[in-house]
Structure 1
Amino acid sequence: MTVDEQKEAVGEAALKYVKPGMKVGLGTGSTAAWFVKAVAREVKAGLKLTLVSTSVQTTQLAESLGLAIKDINDVGMLDLCVDGADEVGEGLALIKGGGGALLREKLIWELAKTCVVIADAAKHVPVLGKFPLPIEVEPFAWKGTVNRVSDVLVEFEIDKLPVMRKKDGQPWITDGGNLIFDVACGRIEDPSGLGAALKSVTGVVDHGLFLDLAEVALIATPDGVRIVEP
């Protein structure tokens, strides 16, 4: 299977976790988009669901496919969230946020009873860190925040500086109005410790380490979809 075919396969496979009447969070990114398309087909065929979105991008896709997206504040707890990941590591520790939606994704994940991550085989790694770790930062006094983040990284033997993400030469602004800085960590030996230390920095809104949240990962391989549990 090609990479796109792998992504489509896991998007379809995730449908087995969807039951009539569920409240479902729709993830963001190229793999999650295949799940959104699969859900749209089933809803068109009569499946009743309440849907919320993790980003403006996903909302636009869902609505273009005829899906109604509810405000999470009107829905509350969710039964299920299905989303992609940039890296899936040991114990289903994840790096997410390559698409810039990490904060809203994490908010939705933490409201879901069950979180299913879907990814192609290239995203399944023995150690997190090859994919740059996104850190979402409040724009006010961002330079001071990033300096403190750099100090934290040194404590975890990561010598790379955070790099401001840009689009068309301008700072990337998240759906929440924040900046994103990416860190080429190389290897993250202590994801839990690093995540806690980053969150302790005033000005850091959140980071792309998703820990102890995923119940199961569906990993697409050239030979089919493999189920991975923590």
Structure 2
Amino acid sequence: MISLNEAKKKAAYKAVDENITSENKIIGIGSGSTIVYVVERILQLKNLLNKECIFIPTSFQSRLLIIEGGLNLGDIDQYSEIDVTIDGADEVDENLNAIKGGGACHLREKLVAEAAKKFIIVADYSKRSTTLGEKWKQGVPIEVIPFAYKRVMNSLKELGCENPILRMAKAKAGPVISDNGNFIIDAHFGLIEHPKELLEKIKLLTGVVEVGLFVNMAKNAYFGNEDGSVDIK
């Protein structure tokens, strides 16, 4: 049995090998621990890729990975159409719906995913579930405007979340601040049988900027397994 990190690496490498080619000119790079291996593999194959290829980051982390790797850095404002985006996930259900936002980057991640002709998820076996909420117990990440967070939390209770939590920073006193200057609420709804309906209800709340439910977006998901194999859905 291999480690979670090794499983992530195998999934990331296979996803890059099968989805990033010399024909790709604009590539979206997601965020999180799995993406480190995605960029690692891209750098190994750098000489086989289009030298003018532009990489679009979804966070400060992925921006640094692109810059430090000597890759061409672009921005979603410059390149609104992306050939392929590869990103991780906190949980993926059997229909390839996902929960994202554990790293508070889901607004930019969703923008870059939606702009892509092909959105690919990479994850280890611990992130794979039948129904969202089965594995990821921290709740759905919701980015909110700071002055609206209390009202949004009250509204989330009306939607069925018993105890919405304002995500607090671990190395400073106060809440987590997203790259966009907003707060993050984690809202646990138990098993999410109908993610599209829940997404729509939360998005309608005044003050909500984005919701970490990625519904009907991924074309494929690559899961690194305990035995070293990779499943593709």
Whether TM exceeds 0.5 here: the answer is yes
Secondary structure at 2:77's aligned position in 1?
Answer: helix
- Once the two structures are TM-superposed, the CA of residue 46 in structure 1 deviates from its matched residue by 4.8
Counterpart for residue 232 of structure 2: 227
- Once the two structures are TM-superposed, the CA of residue 101 in structure 1 deviates from its matched residue by 0.2
- Structure 2 gaps of 5+ residues are none
- Once the two structures are TM-superposed, the CA of residue 176 in structure 1 deviates from its matched residue by 0.7
Alignment check: 8 A CA contact 1:134 1:208 kept: yes
Q: How big is each residue's C-alpha offset from its partner over 1:141-181, in whole Å with a ceiling of 9 and x where there is no partner? A: 321122112212x2xxx4x3210111123210001111001
The runs of at least 4 aligned residues of structure 1 exceeding 2 Å deviation read: none
> Map of 1:61-80 to 2, 5 A cutoff?
61-80=65-84
In 1, Cα distance between equivalents of 2:94 and 2:230: 18
In 1, Cα distance between equivalents of 2:120 and 2:148: 36
Q: Percent identity?
A: 37
> Map of 1:42-191 to 2, 5 A cutoff?
42-43=45-46, 45-48=47-50, 49-129=53-133, 130-131=135-136, 132-152=139-159, 154=160, 158=161, 160-167=162-169, 168=171, 169-191=173-195
- Tell me the C-alpha RMSD between the 2 structures: 1.3
> Map of 1:31-42 to 2, 5 A cutoff?
31-42=34-45
In 1, Cα distance between equivalents of 2:117 and 2:191: 30
Secondary structure at 1:91's aligned position in 2?
Answer: coil
In 1, Cα distance between equivalents of 2:8 and 2:66: 17
- Structure 1 gaps of 5+ residues are none
Counterpart for residue 24 of structure 1: 27
**TM-score, normalised on structure 1?**
0.92
**TM-score, normalised on structure 2?**
0.91
In 2, Cα distance between equivalents of 1:123 and 1:46: 31
In 2, Cα distance between equivalents of 1:46 and 1:212: 31
- Once the two structures are TM-superposed, the CA of residue 40 in structure 1 deviates from its matched residue by 2.1
**Count of equivalent residues:** 222
Alignment check: 8 A CA contact 1:18 1:80 kept: yes
Secondary structure at 2:101's aligned position in 1?
Answer: coil
